């Protein structure tokens, strides 16, 4: 049972049935990180949401090409400096060292959260030629102009033919009144015009020669160039956090329409913000959580550490388009929920159908079928992971009942059992991307068994002694009987 997938399309502001351009192929582009600092939990929320979207699309049979970029040039600070150049200068490093360090961190963190890597992860610097080609075309078609070595997108000109601001629901007058001044640059004709190419100051580390100047590309351009290169002038999904709607995605659409006459993606998906005490988590506000702070609990707002799977579960407990507030209480509750589900996963993985005493119970069979179908209904409803988890919990109750014998296998037929097992494991592992974390301390486990071994020896229960010795040996651990104590070593 699959049913129809509906998504909330931020381009039309409506929930719509999802129809890819060229099924079963789905092209999805998600704006990736600017690699000048460690990713914080807010960034992770957005990337986790798209991980689940990618996973579910695949689960229901789409062949997804997931492209997520790395911004390694062009993203400016409030004072107009390139973020990576600035950090490189501060630390006396090559910009590429900064890029490598934080790309590595990003990949490590994403892998600890069990996310599937994108199929293509292009970087802005690796696509300068494509960006320069787009600028040339935009100038040729009259949508961009050169001014003192920089090139700007001409928003008012574009707006005469098209609608600038449609995605974020603003018109030019609103935007003009919101924009207080020219952001430190007198080169623009209109404060809303945005840079496609920036002339670099002589001491700016990253710069490239073009007919306009020695400079670097504007941030918005990279995503237009790379999404269309890998997914075509029209593609299915474009995603990112809500905060990227304006100006980043608005500018991308204008660049795409200006260059190709088409706006790029058919569906916009935007995730909502992770907040702390109601305030958006962001590095500049100083309220961000890094992975190591979360795992160790070494943060003023935490009174213990939480594992990546607990945090993944915590994030999936809300819909991606709602805000989510991080707190110690919320994480504590998520830990309980995650453990309940993980115990269900552990039991279900081992559980096999068996013949036992009992008669078919149509009501039980019906309930289990409904729970399974509900998982699809929930995910089909704009990827509602929160509801999906609720349905999985209902299945966990059935798993526990089967395990403790309250529910007999004979009451549900083998097909229903298989369907329940398959649906439960696929949704929790493949779709939600959860896994059972093995944070069991093997040292203390071996010590416990060694204690039993000691008791058995003392009681001269040699059958048990041999059994424990053999069981540990099978795990590659050898017990050594010393004169006055027992020790263990790994078998060589």
Q: Which of residues 408-427 bind ligand AMP (CB under 6 A)?
A: none
Minimum CB separation of residue 34 from ligand AMP in Å reads 4
Q: Tell me if residue 42 falls in helix, strand or coil.
A: helix
- Would you give the distance in Å from CA 92 to the centre of its chain? 32
CB-nearer residue toward ligand AMP: 246 or 488: 246
Contact status: 124 vs ligand AMP (CB under 6 A): no
Which residue among 7, 31, 372, 395 contacts ligand AMP (CB under 6 A)? 31
Contact status: 45 vs ligand AMP (CB under 6 A): yes
Minimum CB separation of residue 50 from Zn ion in Å reads 13
Element spanning 26, H or E = strand 25-30
Question: Which entry of ligand AMP, Zn ion, none binds 114, CB below 5 to 8 A by partner kind?
Answer: none
Question: Which entry of ligand AMP, Zn ion, none binds 416, CB below 5 to 8 A by partner kind?
Answer: none
Which residue among 10, 46, 115, 318 contacts ligand AMP (CB under 6 A)? 46
Nearest residue to ligand AMP by CB is 241
Pairing mode, if any, of strands 150-153 and 6-9? Answer: unpaired
Q: Whole-angstrom Cα distance, residue 248 to residue 468?
A: 63
Minimum CB separation of residue 255 from ligand AMP in Å reads 18
Where does residue 280 fall: left (phi above 0), alpha (psi -120 to 50 degrees), or beta otherwise? beta
CB-nearer residue toward Zn ion: 70 or 368: 70
216-238 burial, b at 16+ Cβ within 10 Å, e below that, comes to bbbbbbbbbbbbbebbeebbbbb
Using the contact rule CB under 6 A, the part of the chain among 13-21, 269-277, 384-392, 461-469 near ligand AMP is 269-277
Q: How many CA atoms lie within 13 A of 262 on its CB side?
A: 11
Minimum CB separation of residue 231 from Zn ion in Å reads 13
Minimum CB separation of residue 31 from Zn ion in Å reads 3
Contact status: 144 vs Zn ion (CB under 5 A): no
CB-nearer residue toward ligand AMP: 239 or 263: 239
Of 238, 156, 260, the residue nearest 164 (C-alpha): 156
Which residue among 9, 20, 26, 42 contacts ligand AMP (CB under 6 A)? 42
Of 187, 191, 227, 239, the residue nearest 53 (C-alpha): 239
Question: Which entry of Zn ion, ligand AMP, none binds 45, CB below 5 to 8 A by partner kind?
Answer: ligand AMP
Contact status: 342 vs Zn ion (CB under 5 A): no
Q: Whole-angstrom Cα distance, residue 102 to residue 319?
A: 28
Distances (CA, A) of 219 to 77, 252, 362, 432: 11, 10, 59, 32
Distances (CA, A) of 290 to 5, 78, 439: 34, 23, 20
Strand order in the sheet with 324-326: 279-280, 274-276, 324-326
> Phi and psi dihedrals of 209, rounded to 5?
-80, 130
DSSP string, 200-262: PPTT-SS-EE-SS-EEEE-HHHHHHHHHHHHH-SEEEEEEEEGGGIIIIIHHHHHHHHHHHSS
Of 23, 10, 115, the residue nearest 65 (C-alpha): 23
Question: Which entry of Zn ion, ligand AMP, none binds 280, CB below 5 to 8 A by partner kind?
Answer: ligand AMP
Using the contact rule CB under 6 A, the part of the chain among 112-120, 141-149, 236-244, 411-419 near ligand AMP is 236-244
Percent helix, strand and coil across the chain, each to the nearest 5? 50, 15, 35
Contact status: 223 vs Zn ion (CB under 5 A): yes
Question: Which entry of Zn ion, ligand AMP, none binds 34, CB below 5 to 8 A by partner kind?
Answer: ligand AMP
Site size toward Zn ion, by CB under 5 A: 2
Using the contact rule CB under 5 A, the part of the chain among 25-33, 173-181, 224-232, 306-314 near Zn ion is 25-33
Which residue among 274, 315, 375, 434 contacts ligand AMP (CB under 6 A)? 274
Structure tokens at 28: 């999805």
Which residue among 7, 26, 31, 231 contacts Zn ion (CB under 5 A)? 31
Residues in the chain, how many? 492
Contact status: 282 vs ligand AMP (CB under 6 A): yes
Contact status: 57 vs Zn ion (CB under 5 A): no
Which residue among 20, 122, 165, 240 contacts ligand AMP (CB under 6 A)? 240
Binding-site ranges for ligand AMP (CB under 6 A): 31, 33-34, 42-43, 45-46, 240-241, 243-244, 271, 273-274, 280-282
Binding-site ranges for Zn ion (CB under 5 A): 31, 223
């Amino acid at each position: 049972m699959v049913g129809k997938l509906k998504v909330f399309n931020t381009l039309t502001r409506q929930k719509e049935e999802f129809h890819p351009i060229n099924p079963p192929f789905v092209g999805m582009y998600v704006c990736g990180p600017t690699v000048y600092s460690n990713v914080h939990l807010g960034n992770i929320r957005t990337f986790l949401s798209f991980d689940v979207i990618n996973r579910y699309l695949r689960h229901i049979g789409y062949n997804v090409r997931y492209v997520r970029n790395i911004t390694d040039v062009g993203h400016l600070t409030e004072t107009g400096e390139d973020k990576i150049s600035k950090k490189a200068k501060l630390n006396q490093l090559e910009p590429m060292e900064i890029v490598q360090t934080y790309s590595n961190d990003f990949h490590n963190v994403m892998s600890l959260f069990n996310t599937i890597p994108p199929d293509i992860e292009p970087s802005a610097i690796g696509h300068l030629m494509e960006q320069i080609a787009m600028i040339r075309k935009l100038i040729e078609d009259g949508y961009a102009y050169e001014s003192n070595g920089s090139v700007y997108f001409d928003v008012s000109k574009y707006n005469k033919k098209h609608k600038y601001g449609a995605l974020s629901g603003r018109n030019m007058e609103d935007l003009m009144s919101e924009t207080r001044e020219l952001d430190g640059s007198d080169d623009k004709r209109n404060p809303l015009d945005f840079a496609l190419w920036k002339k670099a100051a002589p001491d700016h580390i990253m710069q490239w020669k073009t007919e306009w100047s020695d400079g670097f590309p504007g941030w918005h351009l990279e995503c237009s160039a790379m999404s269309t290169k890998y997914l075509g002038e029209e593609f299915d999904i474009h995603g990112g956090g809500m905060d990227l709607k304006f100006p980043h995605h608005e500018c991308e659409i204008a660049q795409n329409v200006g260059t190709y006459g088409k706006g790029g993606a058919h569906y916009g998906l935007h995730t909502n913000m992770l907040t702390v005490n109601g305030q958006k988590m962001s590095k500049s506000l100083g309220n961000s959580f890094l992975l190591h702070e979360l795992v160790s609990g070494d943060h003023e707002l935490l009174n213990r550490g939480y594992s990546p799977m607990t945090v993944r579960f915590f994030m999936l407990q809300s819909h991606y388009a709602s805000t989510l507030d991080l707190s110690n209480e919320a994480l504590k509750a998520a830990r309980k929920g995650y453990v309940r589900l993980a115990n269900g996963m552990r039991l279900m993985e081992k559980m096999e159908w068996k013949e036992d005493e009992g008669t078919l119970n149509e009501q039980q069979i019906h309930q289990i079928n409904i729970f399974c179908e509900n998982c699809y209904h929930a995910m089909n409803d704009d990827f509602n992971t929160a509801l999906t988890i609720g349905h999985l919990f209902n299945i966990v109750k059935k798993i526990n009942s089967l395990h403790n014998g309250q529910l007999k296998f004979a009451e549900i037929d083998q097909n229903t059992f298989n369907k329940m097992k398959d649906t439960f494991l696929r949704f929790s592992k493949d779709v939600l991307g959860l896994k059972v974390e093995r944070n069991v301390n093997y040292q203390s486990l071996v010590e416990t068994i060694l204690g039993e071994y000691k008791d058995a020896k003392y009681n001269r229960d040699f059958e048990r002694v041999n059994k424990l010795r053999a069981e540990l040996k099978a795990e590659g651990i050898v017990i050594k009987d010393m004169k006055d104590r027992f020790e263990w070593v790994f078998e060589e």
